[in-house]
Amino acid sequence: MAPKIAIVYYSMYGHIKQLAEAEKAGIEKAGGSADLFQVPETLPEDVLAKMHAPPKPT
């Protein structure tokens, strides 16, 4: 039975998302399956703007 893995991540600028996608690809290449779950952004828009962060996904 192949392992099934949940990858839960938070990514403001997209770097951690890229790592999570690479982990998923490696798991699937090894015969397992993986699902990605992104933790939603919780910071208000004005704080994100001051950080020069990308807009929240809708």
| pTM for the whole structure | 0.81
- Show me where the domains of the chain are located: 4-50
> How many CA within 13 A on the CB side of residue 57?
9
**CA–CA separation, 15 vs 50, rounded Å?**
19
Residue 40 contacts residue 28 (beta carbons within 8 Å) = no
Tell me the C-alpha to C-alpha distance, in Å, between residue 14 and each of 1, 2, 3, 55.
32, 29, 26, 12
Span 6-47, pLDDT tens digits = 999 999 888 999 999 999 999 999 999 999 999 999 999 899
